[in-house]
Amino acid sequence: MGHFGHLKKIILAIVLGAILPFAFPFSASAALHVDVNQGVSQPLPIAIPDFLGGQPQSNDAQVGANIAGVVRADLGRSGLFRPLDPKSFIEAIRNINVPPQFANWRVINAQGLVTGQVTTQTDGRLRVEFRLWDVYGESQMLGLQYFTTPENWRRIAHMISDAIYERITGEKGYFDTRIVFISESGPALHRVKRLAVMDQDGANPIFLTRGNYLVLTPRFNPTAQMIAYMSYIGNRPRVYLFDLETGKQQMLGNFPTMTFSPRFSPDGNKVVMSLERSGNSDIYLMDLRTRAVTRLTSDPNIDTSPSFSPDGRQITFESDRSGSQQVYVMNADGSNQHRISFGKGKNGTPVWSPRGDLIAFTKQASGAFRIGVMAPDGSGERIITDGWEDEGPTWAPNGRVLMFTRTGTGSRGSSIWEVDVTGRNLHRVPTPGGASDPAWSPLIQ
């Protein structure tokens, strides 16, 4: 087990959430709101002081500072919030159960205020509680508490970030999520690639393979407990499943030739992927329970990169049947295959948004690879990145943020980047060394 025992513990840990009684009149129609659709050129100023320590003779205050730090980083990274520098705070919070002096927070232009406390319980668990205040409305917007084992403090921080994000934007958050990716090391001619997972913010990276064989294109199942990926173990490139709970890997099916580009169906019961035979790649669907295999495309052209719509009824994929790589949509049984990308250049690696409203893809035009989004009927194409070789988008579970692989020229290697669906707020995701092929998990259950 070794290196993923830690991971299992984190994934299986149970976290209890409870609603804190409101400490002050609740404003049902709070003015504090961020509209995520506008891409937000003016992020919401929010004050998040370090959470208080409940037990003086303990580590509580340090954990409280750590949690507030992660919440500030999460919300700031989203581009929708601007966490204020704690040095600018006038009022020191001493008791989270009484309302703050709102005037002290208006002076520093905070519109939102988060106060919190961490208290070690007699059984060793942590109780983490927080309140979200509308500074101008002078009311509590949200109050929650969680109980957890101390090593789970980062997850609690991400859950608090999600709760704040959802309360203020009206959209689900995406901070309590993980990324499966390919970690890259070594020189360009002898690149070592390893299967790895990490938290959405780059924390807690864990390697799942040792790098002695090539691995590519990992994707989570809907419970984030299983990964489908491509492995060259034994020089036989095939799709494999990696079970994070047991650490076991198994080849998916027993195909005589290369299988690649896997993705789970939204219910997790099927994997759609490409199978290559005599040089030709078509798309197949495998039922994980019955192991029955259904062929979905059968033409002499490259058909790959399949991705289900969130309702499971359609699949977007790429094909060069028109003479160049373009994006198509078909029904989940393979019927009604039709091209949707008619813009400039080549278009591939389509991925359906979890919201269903958009398909993200890689556009190759004018000597560059860029990430774009379009409606499932191909309309409204927008290019949202501007790299030399950006490819392979993946959606945050709320459909508002994407990650992708950015590769530099020459031997500079690859890294993972994150961008808002509006094209704003582009930044690199921290990884141990080079990294590629990110895939976002759903919100962890």
Partner 1 sequence: MMKLSTGLKFATIAVALVLAGCASKKPAPVEEAPPPPQTAPAPTSSIVPGSAEDLRVNVGDTVHFDYDRYSLQDEGKTVLQRQAAWLAKYPSVRVTIEGNCDERGTREYNLALGARRANAAKEYLVSLGVSAARIDTISYGKERPTCTESTESCWAQNRRDVTTITSGAAS
Chain residues that interact with partner 1, rule: CB under 8 A: 188-189, 191, 193, 214, 216-217, 230, 235, 237, 258, 260-261, 274, 276-281, 299-302, 304-305, 318, 320-321, 323, 325, 348-349, 362, 364, 369, 388-389, 391-392, 407, 409-411, 437
Quick one: 191 or 424, whose CB is closer to partner 1? 191
Contact assessment for residue 97 and residue 117, using Cβ atoms and an 8 Å cutoff: no
Quick one: 76 or 345, whose CB is closer to partner 1? 345
Minimum gap (Å) between residue 348 Cβ and partner 1: 5
Torsional sign, CA 444, 376, 37, 392: positive
Quick one: 108 or 368, whose CB is closer to partner 1? 368
Among 437, 388, 432, which residue's Cα sits nearest to residue 185?
A: 432
Contact assessment for residue 134 and residue 31, using Cβ atoms and an 8 Å cutoff: yes
Minimum gap (Å) between residue 26 Cβ and partner 1: 50
Quick one: 74 or 318, whose CB is closer to partner 1? 318
Minimum gap (Å) between residue 150 Cβ and partner 1: 40
Residue with tokens 């991971």: 7
Residue with tokens 């037990």: 55
**Per the structure block, which two tokens stand in for 332?**
């989940």
Quick one: 124 or 410, whose CB is closer to partner 1? 410
**Per the structure block, which two tokens stand in for 63?**
């954990």
Quick one: 108 or 251, whose CB is closer to partner 1? 251
Quick one: 249 or 364, whose CB is closer to partner 1? 364
> What phi and psi, each to the nearest 5 degrees, are found at residue 444?
-65, 135
**Per the structure block, which two tokens stand in for 433?**
């060394």
Which three-class secondary structure state does DSSP give residue 381? coil
Minimum gap (Å) between residue 328 Cβ and partner 1: 13
Determine the Cα–Cα distance for residues 219 and 225; give it in Å rounded to an integer: 11
Burial class of 291 by CB neighbour count within 10 A (0 to 12, 13 to 18, 19+): exposed
Which three-class secondary structure state does DSSP give residue 86? helix
Minimum gap (Å) between residue 273 Cβ and partner 1: 10
Minimum gap (Å) between residue 189 Cβ and partner 1: 6
Contact assessment for residue 215 and residue 228, using Cβ atoms and an 8 Å cutoff: no
**Per the structure block, which two tokens stand in for 197?**
């997972």
Determine the Cα–Cα distance for residues 53 and 2; give it in Å rounded to an integer: 33
Quick one: 64 or 218, whose CB is closer to partner 1? 218
Minimum gap (Å) between residue 346 Cβ and partner 1: 9
Minimum gap (Å) between residue 230 Cβ and partner 1: 8
Buried b (16+ CB within 10 A) or exposed e, 89-111: bebebeebeebbebebbeeeebb
Quick one: 69 or 237, whose CB is closer to partner 1? 237
Determine the Cα–Cα distance for residues 282 and 274; give it in Å rounded to an integer: 5
Minimum gap (Å) between residue 391 Cβ and partner 1: 5
Quick one: 116 or 218, whose CB is closer to partner 1? 218
Which residues are CB-contacts of 428 (< 8 A; sequence separation ≥ 6)?
406, 415, 416, 417, 418
Quick one: 201 or 390, whose CB is closer to partner 1? 390
H helix or E strand, kind and range, residue 57 = none
Minimum gap (Å) between residue 345 Cβ and partner 1: 12
Minimum gap (Å) between residue 311 Cβ and partner 1: 24
Residue with tokens 């070592």: 192
> What phi and psi, each to the nearest 5 degrees, are found at residue 304?
-155, -170
Contact assessment for residue 349 and residue 309, using Cβ atoms and an 8 Å cutoff: no
**Per the structure block, which two tokens stand in for 292?**
């029955």
